Structure formats: C-alpha cells, structure tokens
Amino acid sequence: MSDTEKGISRRSVLKGAAVGGIGLAAGGSLLAGCAKSKVTGDINFTIRGNLSDAGSKIAIAVNDAYTAKSGNKVISQAVNSDDFQNNFVQIMQGTPDDAFGWMAGWRTNARADAGLLADLSDQVAALGSSLSAAAVQGATNPADGKQYIIPTTYYPWGLHYRKSTMTELGLNPESIATWDDLIKLCEATQKKGLVGYALGDKGGWEAMGTFDILNMRLNGYQFHIDLLNGKEQWTDPKVVEVFNYMGQLIPFMNKNVLDISWDGMRDLLLQKKCGAMMMGSWFANDFLAKSQEDYDDLWIVPFPEINPEHGVDSIDAPLDGIAVAANGKNVEGGKELAEFWGSKEGIDAAVAAGDTNIYISSEFDSSSYDAFNNQKLAVLGAAKNIGFFLDRDTRGDFAGPVVGPAIQSFLKNPKDLTKILDNTQAQWDALPAL
C-alpha cells in the first residue's frame, strides 16, 4: 500500500508544477468543452496488433464505450504493429485512420514536425490536472511546445526475477540495491547451473534497455539524453565505463544472447532458468496466462544503484497513448476519441475489459491493483527522471541502424569497444541535420 502512495504522491507533486503550465488553458477548454458542438461521423481507429490479442479486445471495448456515449460509430481495424511502425510515414500520407495507438517521444515529435499528426494540445488541456506534469512534458514536442499524443499508459523497465529463486538462493528479493548485490545474485544463480543475467539481443533493441539503465545509473539522466542527442560524445570515457559495466555482466549471461529475442528472455524466466533480467514489464501478462502461481512469483525492482550521485533516480518508462492523423477523414472525431481514451470513462472501460496497464491519469483507480502492479508503481515512483527507451529518445535513423548493431558488436567482441565507439560517434557525425 505504501508503494501506491509513493507513486501517487510523486504525481501530486509533479501535478503542482503542471498547473502553472496548463492550468489556464485547461480552464478555458473545460468550459468550451461543455458547449462544444458534438462531433459527428464515423471514426476509424487503428489497433496495432492482432484482433485476438488482449490489447485489441480492450481497445474495442474502449471504442464501444465511446460510441455508446457519443453516438459516433468507431470502426476498428487491427494491423501488424511492426508493419504499421515501419510504413508509418507512407500510411500517414495516404488515407490514414483517424486515431491510433502510438508512442510518445521521437516517433511522435518528428512526425508532428512533418505535419502528419494533429495537434492535441486542446485535448490534453481538457484532461487537465488528471495528467501528471511529467506525462504532459513527455508528450510535448520540444520543437513547438504542443502535444500530439494523448498519453494514456506507461510501463517500467526494471530488474525482473522470481521471488522463489531468490528465497532458494538465500537472498532477500528486496535487497538487490547495489551493483555488488546484483553480482552476488548472478554468481549464486550461476553456481546453481542457471543463467545469471538473462539477455537476448537478436532483435537488436533488447540490450538497449541494459545500456540505457547503466548509462543513467553511472552518468545520470541528463548525460544519457544529451548523449542520445549528440550533445555528448560516444568516445567519452564515461560511455566506455558504461560498456565496461555491461562487460562485467557478460560472463553471467546465457551463451546465446544473439540467438534469442525478448520472448526468449521471458521464457528463461518463465521456465526458472535464469536469475534476473532487465526488461519492460509488459510481458507480465504472459506469466498470468501461464498460471496465477507464476504471476505471483514474478517481481520487479529498480535496477540497483551504482553511482551514489545518481542513486536510482532515473528509469526507462516508455509512454504510450493515442495520436490522431492530420490527414484523416474525421480529424475532429479522432481528437474527441483520443480525449475519451484519456478520460475517466475511457479508462474505466479499458479496466473493465481486463487492462492491467498502468494509466497515467489520476482518475485511474489503482485500489484494485495486485501486488505486482503496485510494485511497478513503486518502481516508477522511485525515479525522478523518466526516459522513454533508447529508440524513442533518439532519432530513428540512429537508434536502429547504428546503436543496435553497435551493442550487438560489443556483445560479440567486447575487445573491439574502442573501435565500436569511434565508429558510433562517426556515424552520428555523418547524420544530416533533421
């Protein structure tokens, strides 16, 4: 319970800061909201994923709730998530659906700058203080100070493990607080014949989570963000230090890091084959799908402190939400639907449909949370600075094509580090200005 309070109290504090920024606008459009002429016409909505996914069913439930409230029909179609992401620019230039699930950060801001996404500042303002300042700031495009996404949910990247494994090893699950504790955990699990620190990087992005957190723990959030935006050098000894720490973990990793992807990591933990792993919490539903017992055994803590100067003050917590296409047929309808997703009614509909995600809105009632979800809130609450994950914090033609292969190369041949970092910096320098 105290964990929940911690999470909420952090929000309340940040909320205070937000009021200055958006309070005026919120008041204005809340009034306008009452008198707003009702949007009409069908609204098209893209669901990223399969129709059979739990997420799709939740999305349809929310859209149905909107239809019940507004009388506007919402036509939901499911598309392959990777295809949608990869062809996003082309889709948005054609005849896109009006609204769709999307992610905050570079992927939203760069597309907004290109004029592909509709300005949702009024809707964010209308949701007012139910959104924390951190969430609003996360959804704000630094180029023009407007919001192009209604932030709805987020999830923490943290150290996941099974409580039972820790107990068997004679370790206290709550005490993985320092780097030495983590190494001790890895050594103990390895002695038992298990994988100490599970990692898969076949997809090229999974290990970015470990890189991100090591950089934030060692050098702080600001250095991390500056590095990803070209204000710091990859050849900096501070970055070398990050990779040295990652190198310390390599002996504890499974020997097939480049053979498995995130689902392989999940399976290692699911099958009790590993000690700990750094991952986003979204996979917890798969534990629940296997058995309640497995789900109850799953635990998450903030990645341990390394540099006392930065403690555990930062975390990767990708922010998801709803965006609206500027070229949609029913832009106003899309905006209203997006706002509905962020409202209490929308959230209630999602939760009623079985959504276990953490909603940003303070309207969201977390009293029904189970222990794991409360722990997720606590992990989020422990952090002051929120990163969105490497591929959302830096430009798209740098994250996937440059950083991904660089980390893979390091995992392959740690001795090549100097060459890898020189090259990473050179490739950043060669990028054309945005």
Q: Residue numbers of the site for other proteins (CB under 8 A)?
A: 85-90, 93, 110, 114-116, 194-195, 202-205, 254-260, 264, 267-268, 271, 273-274, 395-397, 399-401, 404-405, 408, 412, 423, 426-427, 430-432, 434
Residue 381: φ, ψ to 5°: -70, -25
Measure the CA angle with vertex 65, ends 61 and 70; round to 5°: 145
For residues 31 and 24, give the distance between their C-alpha atoms in angstroms, rounded to a whole number. Answer: 11
Cβ proximity to other proteins, 289 vs 426, nearer residue: 426
> Shortest distance, CB of residue 285 to other proteins, whole angstroms?
19
Cβ proximity to other proteins, 189 vs 374, nearer residue: 189
> Shortest distance, CB of residue 85 to other proteins, whole angstroms?
7
Residue 426: φ, ψ to 5°: -60, -40
Closest residue by Cα to residue 162 from 43, 36, 341, 295: 295
Cβ proximity to other proteins, 92 vs 225, nearer residue: 92
* DSSP 3-state of 385: strand
> Shortest distance, CB of residue 256 to other proteins, whole angstroms?
4
Q: Determine which helix (DSSP H) or strand (DSSP E) holds 48, and give its type and residue range.
A: strand 43-48
> Shortest distance, CB of residue 427 to other proteins, whole angstroms?
6
DSSP label at 79?
E
> Shortest distance, CB of residue 134 to other proteins, whole angstroms?
27
> Shortest distance, CB of residue 59 to other proteins, whole angstroms?
22
Is the distance from CB of 113 to CB of 83 less than 8 angstroms? Answer: no
Cβ proximity to other proteins, 194 vs 386, nearer residue: 194
Torsion of CA 232, 235, 237, 242, to 10 degrees: 80
Cβ proximity to other proteins, 150 vs 399, nearer residue: 399
Cross-strand pairs, 319? 154
DSSP label at 278?
E
> Shortest distance, CB of residue 288 to other proteins, whole angstroms?
20
Is the distance from CB of 375 to CB of 78 less than 8 angstroms? Answer: no
> Shortest distance, CB of residue 88 to other proteins, whole angstroms?
5
Cβ proximity to other proteins, 106 vs 341, nearer residue: 106
Residue 300: φ, ψ to 5°: -135, 135
Is the distance from CB of 282 to CB of 153 less than 8 angstroms? Answer: no
Is the distance from CB of 327 to CB of 193 less than 8 angstroms? Answer: no
> Shortest distance, CB of residue 330 to other proteins, whole angstroms?
22
Cβ proximity to other proteins, 20 vs 142, nearer residue: 142
The two structure tokens encoding residue 34: 């009452």
Q: In the chain, what are the helix, strand and coil shares in percent, each to the nearest 5?
A: 55, 15, 30
Cβ proximity to other proteins, 339 vs 391, nearer residue: 391
Q: Specify the residue for token string 């994950």.
A: 389
Cβ proximity to other proteins, 90 vs 367, nearer residue: 90
Cβ proximity to other proteins, 45 vs 84, nearer residue: 84
H helical segments located in 292-434 = 292-297, 331-342, 344-352, 371-381, 390-393, 396-398, 404-412, 417-429
> Shortest distance, CB of residue 90 to other proteins, whole angstroms?
7
For residues 143 and 124, give the distance between their C-alpha atoms in angstroms, rounded to a whole number. Answer: 17
129 CB-side CA count, 13 A: 13
